[in-house]
Amino acid sequence: MTLKARIIVRFSVLKKPRIAIVWMQDWEEVGLEVWDE
């Protein structure tokens, strides 16, 4: 939950930080897929 979490945090800043933080605590992989779409 470090490398993936960091990548998600960066994407969150570009798209939606609130959602990123929410699922980041539960699903790091799911977050990556969500940002992909």
pLDDT of 10 reads: 63
pLDDT of 31 reads: 52
pLDDT of 37 reads: 44
Largest CA distance in the chain: 22
pLDDT of 2 reads: 58
As averages over each run of 10 residues, the pLDDT of the chain (37 residues) reads 61 57 53 50
User: Residues near 37 by Cβ (< 8 Å), separated by ≥ 6?
Assistant: none
